[in-house]
Amino acid sequence: MGTLVIRNWQLIAVVLMISGCSATGGDGSPIIPQRSSSQPVAQPPALNGGLIQRAGISLSSFDQTKALQAEQYALTAAPAGEAVNWQGEQARGNVSAASPYQVGDQNCRQYTQRIFANGAEFVGRGAACREADGSWSLLD
Contact 45, 135 (CB under 8 A): yes
DSSP line for 89-103: SSEEEEEEE---EEE
Contact 62, 41 (CB under 8 A): yes
Contact 125, 138 (CB under 8 A): no
Which residues are CB-contacts of 27 (< 8 A; sequence separation ≥ 6)? none
pTM: 0.67
- The string of pLDDT tens digits covering residues 3-48 is 333 333 333 333 333 333 334 444 444 444 444 444 444 444 457 7
Pairing mode, if any, of strands 83-87 and 91-97? antiparallel
